[in-house]
Amino acid sequence: MTTPEPVITVGNLEMGYGNFVLMSDLTFTVNRGDVFIIMGGSGCGKSTLLKILVGLKPPSKGQVLHGDVNFWHTDAETRESIQRRFGILYQSGALWSSMTLAENIALPLEQYTKLKPDQIREVVALKLALVGLAGFEDFYPSEISGGMKKRAGLARAMALDPDILFFDEPSAGLDPVSSRLLDDLILELRASLNTTIVIVTHELASIFAIGNNSVFLDVEKRTMTASGDPSKLLAAPPNPNVHKFLTRGENQHA
Amino acid sequence: MMSTREQSVPPDSRIHIDRYDTDTLVIRLSGVWKLDLELPSTASVIREIESQQPVRGVILEDKGISGWDSGLLTFLVKIVEHCSTAGIEVTGNALPEGVRRLLAMARAVPARAGGKKEGRREPFLPRVGSQALSFWRSTLETAEFVGEAAIAFARMVRGRATFRRSDLALLLHECGGQALPIVSLISLLVGLILGFVGAIQLRLFGAEVFVADIVAIAMVRVMGAVMTGIIMAGRTGAAFAAQIGTMQVNEEIDALKTMGISPVEFLVLPRMIALIVMMPLLCAYADLMGILGGFIVGVGMLGINPIEYLNRTQEALTLTYFWIGLFHSLVFGVLVALASCLRGMQCGRSASDVGSAATRAVVSSIVAIIVATAIITFLCEVLNI
């Protein structure tokens, strides 16, 4: 068994808006190759935590280490170079509506690589083919379905062959079959590329199907109250709130 | 018999092609295959495959690949696609597992036929036809919208329109009080410009004092209203179109419709009332600021006595001019409100559509203002007022 290699280490993190403390004392580690789930009820701060991890919002207190770099205390240039190793799939896909799918995927390649236009076209075609959208290069986001937007967003997130992929509610707005297909895609990417994957979700089916590590944000206690493999947390819940969440509030007397 | 050829390509990625038997080639890959490196072209490999006819099979092998990313995948996808088109069987069992899995993923769903839109330009006549139809549809939509707005206004007069009074109060504040700084600045500057331009010409005849007449008549009769209209088109019209457009994107307008609430009454009517009420007031204020601008030039630059300047202004102005100016502004208020709300309601369902709606609102409002000014000026001439 190989020793886990930490890629993100969160220590004593506190997050909030103004004087309002949303969550405090968050301490956890995401290891290379993990499919790490950030879970919790609505309004607990899952998306805010994701924003802190990817550099969109600074924490109130505490630290986030990407590798051994203190992400929020390093200089802007280093932070940007770390961010370039991220791929992020936003809840709505967040495709740029005035650009075609090909242009959406090509933009980061044009910005951060020295590839020639025909090489960029090849990479774009590959990324779209990987998410099952081969031939959709010239479509605009408004011309495709919600599930396809998510997959196109994933293709864009993978444009620069990221080390870490972040997903914000990937199943939101998808039918169960599309949601399952997206989960399969995530697992396949992880198996093929050994990409570390961090997912914000409260979809139990996805949590148990793909997660191998997690943190549970407790909206009542305003801190994390569990971490580890979601299936193990279900088998031996460390507290009633985790049990309630992982069983959708059913079997509360079990 | 076995032939061996080796291509050396900088810096590390290498291709080694062997003929395995009479009709099978083995392509062995080694080194680092990453996008940011100078990778070998597939053209040479494809040439090699074609020159070695007849080839019925290609075996792809890992001969020590020490690093890879999308660079290797794009390379392999091209070779596999070429072979598949040429009916050559490709085996990649000896490639790294991740590469094999991703190649399978990339080829799992066939490319959508006809997905690419390049070269699908419509011929000239159908384009003219569809433009004409689209213009006709747009004209009908505009007429329908104006009709609905008129009905909503009539319902409001009878006290039966559905809208929130608090929304109206907020809109009155946004259209009125919040617009004062920009209206002050622009009107003062327009007054100054009119004063300067007039002064240069009048000085030739020693009639500088008449600069007060030029500024007062121009501002009060038309310029105050036109400048206020253009400011409101750019400031408030764009905001109205963006607000309603965003509501269209978020399906808020659909929600109003399904609840039986008329979006025209709920959204357009308060905006129209706010502009109809505020535009004449802003226009009167702009007139005053313009006259102040002229006063600054007349008194400060031309040395006209302040009392004399004010007397000339008073003599030059009549109530008719003032009413004509206010009439202009009232018409502009209706036009800006209708044009901007119409563009907002016609907005598509994406972020860029909201931007287009705001732009179209400003353009339509300004065009409507200029056309209306021309018509009113012509009517005043005909009526001799």
**Beta pairing class for A61-66 and A69-70:** antiparallel
Question: What residue numbers bound the domain in which A212 lies?
Answer: 33-47+86-246
Compute the distance between CA of residue A88 and CA of residue A98 in angstroms, rounded to an integer.
19
Q: Which of A192, A193, A194 to mutate to test the interface with B (most CBs of B within 10 A)?
A: A192
The fraction of chain A above a pLDDT of 70, given in percent, is 98
B141 vs B17, higher pLDDT: B141
Q: Is residue B296 scored above 90 in pLDDT?
A: yes
* Residue A52 falls inside a structural domain: no
Distance CA B194, CA B221 (A): 13
Q: Where in chain B does DSSP place strands (E)? A: 4-8, 14-21, 24-33, 57-68, 89-94
Cβ A233 vs Cβ A226: under 8 Å: yes
Q: Is A99 part of the contact surface with chain B (CB cutoff 8 Å)?
A: no
A179 domain residue, yes or no? yes
Highest mean pLDDT among A10-14, A202-206, B250-254: A10-14
Q: What is the ipTM of this complex?
A: 0.81
pLDDT digits (tens, 9 = 90+) for B248-268: 988 899 888 888 889 999 999
CA distance A75 to B185: 43
* Inter-helix orientation angle B97-108/A117-130, to 10°: 80
Query: Is the domain of B61 the same as that of B185?
Result: no
B98/A192 Cβ within 8 A: yes
B119 Cβ contact partners less than 8 Å away, ≥ 6 residues apart: none
pLDDT band, very low/low/confident/very high, at B149 (cuts 50, 70, 90): very high
Task: For residue A30, report the phi and psi dihedrals to the nearest 5 degrees.
Answer: -105, 125
Q: Is residue A143 part of a domain?
A: yes
Whether pLDDT at B9 is above 80: no
Q: Any bridge partners for residue A72, and if so which?
A: none
- What is the CB-side half-sphere exposure of residue B367 using CA atoms within 13 A? 9
Q: Which of residues 127-166 of A touch B (CB under 8 A)?
A: 127, 129-130, 132-139, 141-142, 161
Angle, helices B319-345 vs B238-249, to 10°: value is: 20
pLDDT digits (tens, 9 = 90+) for B332-350: 999 999 999 999 999 988 8
- What residue type is assigned to position B123 of the chain? P
Best to test chain B binding among A92, A130, A144 (most B CBs inside 10 Å): A130
pLDDT of residue B28: 87
How many structural domains compose chain A?
A: 1
Phi, psi angles (nearest 5°) of residue A222: 55, 35
Supply the mean pLDDT for chain B.
88
User: A188 in contact with B at a CB cutoff of 8 Å?
Assistant: yes
A126 at the B interface (CB within 8 A)?
Answer: yes
In a domain, B252, yes or no: yes
Check whether A254 has a pLDDT greater than 50: no
Q: Which residue is listed with tokens 């909030």? A: A16
Tell me the C-alpha distance between A233 and A241, whole Å. 11
Contact call for A134 and B112, based on CB within 8 A: yes
B367 and B218, same domain (yes or no): yes
Vertex A69: Cα angle to A68 and A74 (nearest 5): 165
| pLDDT mean over A198-207 | 91
What token pair was written down for A102? 């090909």
Say what the pLDDT of residue B4 is: 45
Residues of chain A with Cβ-Cβ distance to B102 below 8 Å are: 130, 192-193
- The answer to whether residue A115 neighbours chain B at the CB level (below 8 Å) is yes
- Considering the domain architecture, whether residues B101 and B165 belong to the same structural domain is answered as no
**CB contact at 8 A, A66 and A52:** no
Digit-coded pLDDT (tens) for A36-52: 999 998 889 999 999 99
Task: Give the pLDDT of residue A1.
Answer: 52
Question: Of B70, B109, B353, which is closest to A132 when you measure between CB atoms?
Answer: B109
At A234, which CATH number?
Answer: 3.40.50.300
In chain B, residues with a C-beta closer than 8 Å to the C-beta of A141 are: 350
**Has residue B29 been placed in a domain?**
yes
Mean pLDDT of B225-247: 96
Pair (B99, B156) in one structural domain: no
Contacts of B121 in chain A (CB under 8 A): none
B77 near A CB under 8 A: yes
Please give, rounded to a whole number of angstroms, the shortest distance from the CA of B310 to a CA of chain A: 55
Looking at the structure, tell me whether residues B157 and B301 fall in a common domain: yes
Residues B94 and B16 in one domain: yes
pLDDT of residue B335: 96
Lowest-pLDDT range, B29-43, B182-196, B268-282, B369-383? Answer: B29-43
B285 in a structural domain: yes
B12-44: per-residue pLDDT in tens?
A: 777 888 877 777 888 888 888 888 788 888 887
Mapped to the 3 state alphabet, what secondary structure does B48-74 carry?
HHHHCCCCCEEEEEEEEEEEECHHHHH
What is the pLDDT, as a whole number, of residue B118? Answer: 55
* % residues pLDDT > 70 (chain B): 95
Give the integer Cα–Cα distance in Å for A9 and A27: 8
Q: Do B106 and A134 touch (CB under 8 A)?
A: yes
pLDDT tens digits along B101-131 = 888 888 887 777 765 555 567 788 999 999 9
Instruction: Give me the DSSP letters along A187-228.
Output: HHHHHHH--EEEEE---HHHHHHH-SEEEEEETTTTEEEEES
Model pLDDT, residue B301 = 87
The residue among B42, B84, B102 with the most chain A CBs within 10 A of its CB, best to mutate, is B102
- What distance, in Å, lies between the first and last C-alpha atoms of chain A? 35
Q: Which domain holds residue B283?
A: 152-382
Establish if A53 belongs to a structural domain.
no
Structure tokens at B368: 């409507």
Q: Which of B308, B283, B93, B296 is nearest to B209 (CA)?
A: B308
The CATH number of residue B94's host domain is: 3.30.750.24
B117 interfaces chain A, CB cutoff of 8 Å: yes
| Residue B347 located in a structural domain | yes
Residues B160 and B73 in one domain: no
**Residue B108 is nearest to which of A97, A132, A139, comparing CB atoms?**
A132
Residues of B in contact with A94 (CB under 8 A): none
- Give me the total of CB pairs closer than 8 Å, taking one residue from chain A and one from chain B: 81
Buried b (16+ CB within 10 A) or exposed e, B166-192: eebeebbebbbeebeeebbebbbebbb
Residues B202 and B301 in one domain: yes
- Give the phi and the psi of residue A242 in degrees, each rounded to 5: -65, -45
Q: Hey, what are B301's tokens?
A: 């630059």
Q: Is B74 in contact with A141 (Cβ distance < 8 A)?
A: no
Sign of the Cα torsion B153, B159, B164, B168 reads positive
User: Cβ separation of B69 and A161 shorter than 8 Å?
Assistant: yes
Q: With beta carbons less than 8 A apart as the criterion, state whether A246 and A214 touch.
A: no
| B293 and B230 in a common domain | yes
Which structure tokens are listed for B115?
A: 């997905």
Q: Tell me whether residue B210 is exposed, middle or buried, using C-beta atoms within 10 angstroms of its C-beta: 0 to 12, 13 to 18, 19 or more.
A: middle
Please tell me if residue B101 touches chain A, with a CB cutoff of 8 Å. yes
Q: Of B50, B76, B107, at which residue does a domain stop?
A: B107
Interface residue A122 vs chain B (CB under 8 A): yes
- Mean pLDDT (chain A, rounded): 90
B99 close contact with A: CB closer than 8 A: yes
User: Which of A120, A127, A136, A193 best tests the B interface by mutation, with the highest count of B CBs <10 A?
Assistant: A193
- Domain match, B164 and B231 both: yes
Confidence class for position B2, pLDDT limits 50, 70, 90 = very low
Residue A179 main-chain phi, psi, to 5 deg: -65, -45
- Could you give the number of structural domains in chain B? 2
Phi-psi region of A201 (alpha: psi -120 to 50; beta: other; left: phi over 0): beta
